[in-house]
Homo-oligomer: A and B are copies of this chain.
Amino acid sequence: MTDLSRERAAALDAADPLASLRDAFVHDDRGLIYLDGNSLGRLPKAGAERIAQVVREEWGAGLVRSWSHWVDLPTRTGDLIGSALLGAAPGQVAVSDSTTVNLYKLAVAALDARPDRTVIVTDDDNFPTDRYVFEGLAAQRGLELRVVRSDIDEGLDLDALRDAVDETTALVSLSHVAYRSGALLDMATVNEIAHGAGALILWDLCHSAGAVPVELDATGADLAVGCTYKYLNGGPGAPAFLYVRGELRSGLRQPIWGWFGQRDQFEMGPSYDPVRGVERFLTGTPAVVAVAAVEEGVRLLAEAGIGRLRTKGVALTGYLIELAGAWLPAVTLATPVDPARRGSHVSLCHPEAWRLAQALIEENVIPDYRAPDRLRLGPAPITTRFTDVWDALDRLRRIVDDKTYERFPAEPSRVT
């Protein structure tokens, strides 16, 4: 039997090459154990300082003159995300709008590039906003939205995907890491499946960027979007990124023709004439303060290195699964056991998941609840210690064993 003592967790922390990066983040929370880094990442100290500097110096004192620093913020930050986290050469990534709006823009661009095809393929475990965006596009354009069934714990079966993608498919769009199960797809294989049928592929990287290595260029991905407020630690609702493969760029046109995609933007010419670069996928004025914070969050991830982050993520989730297996017989795992097939969060199923979450919060542990029966635990590699995982699981086991969760109402009120 393996060693389940807290001493082992402490030893793992002592050997963690990323341990010191924890101090780059704010921890004003009286020992809070935060296992929801895949929903909203922690505040980097540099992010707080950068926001204050942008607000006081660039906005307050510089005023409109500061646009000389701001105008390339979307592409500068995009290139940093691309090189540090996405395996994307410069000029292919920009930060702009929300994930939802970016998905819409890139999906329309893709559908317009395959005008004779009638099918969008996704899976039923894709994030809700993705499914809704595609549902809307299918309804508006008279297309079929083909939704492949995913396993509750193992994610999307690639043979089922192969069966669903054919010569009528315009676009395949999937989450690289599934938001509930944490199942990680093999990007290269999925790209091949889409391209084999002549379809374009659009990845949602919200739950993988910053947690697992992504190789957009090398695997031949066409399009991607992802959010910056989870593992990228850019702050609540920070603008999202989009990726458009360089060679596809000039052949694709997004539907929202805004002045931030216009050539010689400040000439304000009479007709829309989009630039050649990735800025053609921008729309309106970027939220400067929010994008600046993203840049700081990504710098810390770049410093850690995505390889080391992945190694630690596998170790943290593996340790969590090991402890859950030993201590929580009433709980079933709803995440792939194979570390190569999961991202950096783990879902545990229990019929009383809602009450367990409330009891954990009372014990100063923040988990995430997903209806109807999942406790989702996301130990962000850059800020989470092995002792955090041990303490959280130890508290959870006592909550289950002592049935202290029964004090909480069974009915979930609005979850936030």
Q: Does A156 contact B (CB under 8 A)?
A: no
Of A53-61, A299-307, A388-396, which binds chain B?
Answer: A53-61
How many residues on A have C-beta within 8 angstroms of the other chain's C-beta atoms? 86
Q: A257 near B136 (CB under 8 angstroms)?
A: yes
Q: A51 near B55 (CB under 8 angstroms)?
A: yes
- Nearest-Cβ distance from residue A294 to partner chain B, whole angstroms: 11
A284 to B104, CA, bound (A): 11
- Specify which of B47, B136, B284 is in contact with A256 (CB 8 Å cutoff): B136
A93 to B309, CA, bound (A): 42
A129 surroundings in chain B (CB, below 8 A): 258-259, 284
Q: A287 near B285 (CB under 8 angstroms)?
A: no
Contact of A235 with B55 at beta-carbon distance under 8 Å, contacts A255-B140, A256-B101, A257-B135 already known? yes
A65 surroundings in chain B (CB, below 8 A): 361, 366, 416
Interface centre among A52, A104, A265 (most CB of B within 10 A): A104
A79 to B70, CA, bound (A): 30
Which chain A residues in 370-416 approach chain B with CB under 8 Å? 370-371, 414-416
Q: Does A323 contact B (CB under 8 A)?
A: no
Nearest CB in chain B to that of A68: its residue: B416
Flag A128-141 by CB within 8 Å of B: 1 or 0 each: 11011101100010
Q: A26 near B60 (CB under 8 angstroms)?
A: yes
Q: A258 near B132 (CB under 8 angstroms)?
A: yes
Which chain A residues in 1-50 approach chain B with CB under 8 Å? 26, 28-29, 32, 34, 36, 39-40, 42-43, 47-48
Nearest CB in chain B to that of A133: its residue: B257
A71 to B370, CA, bound (A): 18
A-B contact pairs, 18 of them (CB 8 A): A28-B56, A29-B61, A42-B60, A42-B63, A58-B236, A64-B368, A67-B236, A97-B97, A98-B287, A99-B284, A100-B259, A104-B255, A128-B262, A132-B257, A136-B255, A235-B288, A236-B289, A240-B284
Residue positions of A touching B, CB distance < 8 A: 26, 28-29, 32, 34, 36, 39-40, 42-43, 47-48, 51-52, 55-56, 58-61, 63-68, 70-71, 97-101, 104, 124, 127-129, 131-133, 135-136, 140, 227, 229, 235-240, 255-260, 262, 264-272, 283-291, 293, 361, 366, 368, 370-371, 414-416
